[in-house]
Structure 1
């Protein structure tokens, strides 16, 4: 009887060690971008029912091509600093237009010239492809940055990003050894000339002039919607 009890204890301890080791390994893989974070797993696998990825379904009205709206006006003045409702602020980024536009209640307020990753055309599928991701994101954090004035950190990869990533793996477009990537955001630049010359210098982030990102920083918050399209 005692031997049986000892065997049960050994099996229980072994199972516990396996569960803990597996959990630690999974968390580490998730941190490195090789595994879906547990809170998003059901959505990525569509076990909660898949939503459309909204590709082609743009939620912001687009400005005419090549237009930079209110480029010579301060956004605080346009919106009236005393009455800005940050909950109604959203952003549309158009890669083909090299343009970021701020919207208030889905109405365009002001545009800024921007540049992107070294490959400004294709959608991001993995870490290191130097592409700027497309889709709908949210600002998950924002803070001053020593090199780029301000950093508006996007929630890439979200569940749609993960689905694209795995679809590309199953389709043979990328390797199963590739990670999804992370730390995509909107930030300033080491030189305004990079923006003026449309030099796509980043690894996938969206870059604008430091004075412009400083201005943008005043009207956004955690949770601000950012839509990125081609």
Structure 2
């Protein structure tokens, strides 16, 4: 009886070992966009020090990585997770296509009363975007923002400041956590360049 039990345990161990060997490729080994690291929030004092020592000269967005960088010249000063339009692959061409623009733009105005907490407006569409849409008899759309995730009327919900949805959900905007939007709002001046990569 003991020999039979030992044999069963050995066979079971072999089966488990073979299963792990064959299926280890499906075990996540890197961080997915939904599990991206988040920065430690800055205090108001740290934000003011950063504005003085390393003022933000450019925003750089990497759509595929779902990351937004605030840069002082070539140095990455802050790095945030983000979400995009509901159909994120490719450059925004038409109103309602669910895409986030790609290319070089500027932050040209801001809205402290945004539906999604606070927002910075991206200068899409530019002349080329407008011309392309007009050639196809469509509107290029607009109102592309960097904004928060939780609407103002729900910010009293616990953990709303740090909430980040799993997937892309906007109509073409770039959404960050509300706590990150507070930092971006203070660190980024109007007329700052923004470069959006695929």
| Normalised TM-score (structure 2) | 0.68
**Cα distance in 2 for residues equivalent to 1:126 and 1:163:** 11
Q: CA deviation at 1:195?
A: 2.7
Cα deviations by residue, 1:32-62 (Å, 9 ceiling, x for unpaired)? xxxxxxxxxxxxxxxxxxxxxxxxxxxxxxx
Q: CA deviation at 1:119?
A: 0.6
Cα deviations by residue, 1:93-112 (Å, 9 ceiling, x for unpaired)? 11100110110122111111
**Cα distance in 2 for residues equivalent to 1:211 and 1:73:** 7
Residue 19 of structure 1 is matched in structure 2 by none
Residue 181 of structure 1 is matched in structure 2 by 141
Residue 52 of structure 2 is matched in structure 1 by 83
Cα deviations by residue, 1:136-169 (Å, 9 ceiling, x for unpaired)? 1101101213431111011111123235435xx4
Cα deviations by residue, 1:79-124 (Å, 9 ceiling, x for unpaired)? 82461464x4211111100110110122111111100111111110
Residue 113 of structure 1 is matched in structure 2 by 81
Gaps in structure 1 of 5+ consecutive residues: 1-64, 170-174
Cα deviations by residue, 1:187-227 (Å, 9 ceiling, x for unpaired)? 01126787351x21111000011111111100111101111
- Is the partner of 2:182 in helix, strand or coil? helix
For the 8 Å contact 2:69–2:76, the answer to whether it is kept is yes
- Is the partner of 2:164 in helix, strand or coil? helix
Cα deviations by residue, 1:5-38 (Å, 9 ceiling, x for unpaired)? xxxxxxxxxxxxxxxxxxxxxxxxxxxxxxxxxx
**Cα distance in 1 for residues equivalent to 2:185 and 2:193:** 14
**Cα distance in 2 for residues equivalent to 1:200 and 1:192:** 18
Q: How many residues align?
A: 156
For the 8 Å contact 2:51–2:187, the answer to whether it is kept is no
| Structure 1 vs Structure 2 CA RMSD | 2.8
For the 8 Å contact 1:123–1:133, the answer to whether it is kept is yes
Residue 149 of structure 1 is matched in structure 2 by 117
Structure 1 runs, 4 residues or longer, greater than 3 Å off: 65-70, 163-166, 191-194
**Cα distance in 2 for residues equivalent to 1:207 and 1:97:** 14
Residue 161 of structure 1 is matched in structure 2 by 129
**Cα distance in 2 for residues equivalent to 1:69 and 1:83:** 26
Residue 21 of structure 1 is matched in structure 2 by none
